Chain A
């Protein structure tokens, strides 16, 4: 009991420390001072009266939402003896693997820099700055020569690194035994099995209404849809993050989705946020980064070629270029196993006062990175709002999809979860695919790394991302990947090569996500 109490005090102290630097704190302070004018605030019961005022005016709810947001995002305070690296990633060999992977990326970026003789960063001359400012809303019309640039890495390079991940203390015998994993991932992380997933994703069960299933044209809306929309409007009126997160597990009505996601992610667009975005825009205008060209190339190669997302090309530049300049993203490296790349001002190598992070947000984009932003363009139309939502989604979820860690929502765990589910519940299919040299993870990896963006139809993708927000976990991506294989099992059993298997699973745009998930979790006879 004693231990729990001291743990709780530690968590409270940590959250208070975090919130003290936020806008909300300043606003609460201002409100408290202003409230002293009110007649119901009496001097003798100052503390209680102000608390009551906060409750009535809705400020307590805002504080509750902020605390809930902190609890969702930040890991619990660790043991006092644990160094900060332990909070990023507790397993030493994974930290080492992430370190070597990062070194490879840096080498690749450095060699691109020297080969093309382009500086990592340069200040734009005034003329160029003016030109960019004029063209800000139509950067897509620009056609710079990007033929010499190549993406720093693609998901399949990252997959090779994960395949070679080994725990030095684990029995990795050459001969096949009960210890060998039959899939590609060879590290023994704890993953959930279907009974545990059923418990975890209870709201996706057969007896609970879902958007994506129970709102189809054959089902009369009085059965579920109307009531669900009504509850959604009530949740929005109450402005309660925790209630919204619970509500969205059954899916979000299209009309309410933008506001619900903003509520769950605790994003409210204050004037300070708009100013912050404008400041980032100024940073983009003033400095030109090598990373910008990588972003351009990525957008041109992926989102611009996609039937659903090419219209949003300009928005993508506006968000991603500003994202690279945003130093507040550096905060998430406290709980991310990755570390931001470092560099020094020219001529001051080794001097700590001249050490900077490159890019300023510490995130080097890879091939397909812009697909994390593209689906959000359907929901948000003001660039600053779109930016805030994307940034919060990145530091909560997307960063886990391209860094090596043992977290249950990290990509390594997702891959292992996918392979384990397939092996346990579709053993014949798994064995067949393995025999023909088509390890299932080689096909599904790219889906999971992009959180299915660009592979599913957008309405289905948004229903999937509703559940990611609702359950605050990415495990649903692995479950969906296994469900897709289960759905196409009959065709897959007949293929005889990796290429043919890829062809069977090439087009996911006709799939309906929620029925697949429900059948796989709750209706498959094992």
Chain B
């Protein structure tokens, strides 16, 4: 499934908190990230990838281009997707995640804007976010090739020559030989990932000190 990255503008994160951010004791547990696509017309979203950084739950809202008369509305396409099974521990905290079109609650055609709502209920972490956010749309379908006429419209085969007694059917033999040839080609074309086994360079293993980089 080919995909094409869509250039997007990720706005700064906005924390949502009850009360005054400066005076309250606790840390914000909800962040909102807006993603706009300034230079692209409404597209069909295929995939979202990102690297998690201590976000426990993710919700995504999407604003789609509706028909000309009604204004574009926000719709929730992903609700409370769990990134960290235990918000207090490190499991899943720095994982790479992909979200696909078929996991969304609504169809993702004509996307105008995305809003990612990140939640981290645990007070143990100093900050949380998602990094390396990338949005992908469907890539172009494989280019259609024009076949030469004789390939797409094969000539009807002539009456086969009557078989000589005791010999196998030539078309069957040729198809099986073809299969064997294909198998041998596959074997030859495969490459392995084994090492050679030598640790020295041309028989010499006279070393400097160990290097730190």
Contacts and interface: CB of A to CB of B under 8 A. Distances in A.
A114 B209 contact: yes
Contact of B206 (A21, A121, A353): A121
A343 B124 contact: no
B124 A328 contact: no
A69 B198 CA distance: 25
B178 to A, nearest CB: 12
B199 A360 contact: yes
A328 B90 CA distance: 32
Contacts of B172: 44
A141 interface: no
A179 B191 CA distance: 51
Contacts, number: 144
B207 to A, nearest CB: 5
Contacts of A356: 199-201, 205, 207
Contacts of B176: 43-44, 46
Given A21-B194, A121-B207, A343-B210, A283 B199 contact: yes
A143 B95 CA distance: 52
Given A188-B89, A331-B195, A171 B207 contact: no
A179 B195 contact: no
Interface stretch (B36-44, B97-105, B108-116, B140-148): B97-105
B132 A81 contact: yes
Contacts of B85: 190
Contacts of A360: 199
A343 B209 CA distance: 6
Interface of A is mostly: mixed
Interface string A326-347: 0110110000000001111110
Contacts of A169: 53-54, 125-128
Nearest to A330: B195
Interface in B15-69: 49, 51, 53-54
B2 interface: no
A2 B208 CA distance: 52
A63 B3 CA distance: 36
Contacts of A327: 195, 197-199
Contacts of A47: 179
Contacts of B173: 43
B207 A343 contact: yes
Given A170-B126, A171-B124, A120 B207 contact: yes
A18 B192 CA distance: 7
Contact of B207 (A43, A44, A330, A346): A346
Interface stretch (A102-110, A219-227, A240-248): A102-110
Contacts of B81: none
Contacts of A187: 90
Nearest to B88: A188
B90 A167 contact: yes
B13 interface: no
A238 B88 CA distance: 46
Interface residues of B, number: 54
A21 B51 CA distance: 33
B40 to A, nearest CB: 21
A358 B88 contact: no
B150 interface: no
Interface stretch (A86-94, A126-134, A313-321, A456-464): A86-94
A188 B199 CA distance: 40
Which of the four size classes fits the interface of chain A? 35 or more
B90 A91 contact: yes
A325 B199 CA distance: 8
A106 B100 CA distance: 45
Contact of A120 (B132, B192, B209): B209
A109 B210 contact: yes
Interface in B158-198: 172-173, 176, 179-180, 187, 190-195, 197-198
B96 interface: yes
Contacts of A18: 193
A301 to B, nearest CB: 23
Interface string A268-303: 000000000001000100010000000000000000
A444 to B, nearest CB: 22
A344 B201 CA distance: 10
A342 B210 contact: yes
B205 A123 contact: yes
B152 interface: no
Contacts of B53: 169
A346 B206 contact: yes
A12 interface: no
Among B95, B103, B176, B207, residue most surrounded by chain A Cβ atoms (within 10 Å): B207
Contact of B197 (A20, A110, A328): A328
B123 to A, nearest CB: 7
Contacts of A79: 49, 95-98
Among all A-B residue pairs, the 3 with the closest Cβ atoms = A21-B192, A360-B199, A21-B194
Interface of B: 49, 51, 53-54, 85-86, 88-91, 93-98, 100, 102-103, 123-128, 132, 134, 172-173, 176, 179-180, 187, 190-195, 197-201, 204-213
Given A46-B180, A342-B210, 14 more contacts: A20-B193, A43-B176, A79-B49, A103-B212, A114-B209, A123-B206, A169-B54, A169-B128, A170-B124, A188-B124, A327-B197, A327-B198, A342-B213, A343-B208
5 contacts: A46-B179, A78-B96, A79-B49, A91-B94, A345-B205
